[in-house]
Structure 1
């Protein structure tokens, strides 16, 4: 998954929207959202898009070490983004 800043996403939106890469959108070093292409070239159904979203969420949880609850809190726009220490993976 590629990480891009808000400004880069805005400036290159046409290119990113035409692509099929999942993006993590960041502001000031904090992930504030994800762009998950629906796959216009694949013309999948809603169920397929939902399955792809689930796979992406699982990958994000695995890569970040966040729980589902922590991830959902990051996207609760009524709260500020919580500061949290970086978790080190064992191994």
Structure 2
């Protein structure tokens, strides 16, 4: 996954929207969001995908005993690896 700044995403949005690359969007070196391209889908398919994602996150929270904030920090891509 590629990380880019908000300004770069804004300036080249049409390029990124036309690609199939997943992006982590950063502001001041902190990930503030993701761009995940999808193939042409119906609204129902998109809602089903979000429902599955929500269920997966809720299961991860329940099984791990972590809070949402702790789980978010575990996946913080702005941290430098040692």
Larger radius of gyration: 2
How many corresponding residue pairs? 62
Query: 1:9 maps to what in 2?
Result: 9
Distance 1:5 1:14 in 2: 15
Calculate the TM-score normalised by the size of structure 2. 0.56
State the SS of the aligned residue for 2:33: strand
- Taking only aligned residues, the RMSD between alpha carbons, in angstroms, comes to 3.2
* Long gaps (5+) in structure 2: 58-65, 74-78
State the SS of the aligned residue for 2:17: helix
Query: 1:79 maps to what in 2?
Result: none
Task: Kindly report which structure 2 residues correspond to 1:10-89, keeping only aligned pairs within 5 A, or say none.
Answer: 10-40=10-40, 43=41, 45-46=45-46, 47=48, 49-50=49-50, 54=53, 69-70=68-69, 71=72, 88=82
State the SS of the aligned residue for 1:24: strand
Query: Which is richer in helix?
Result: 2
Shift of 1:69: 1.4
Which 4+ runs in 1 deviate beyond 3 A? 85-88
Higher relative contact order (CA 8 A, sep 6+): 2
Calculate the TM-score normalised by the size of structure 1. 0.51
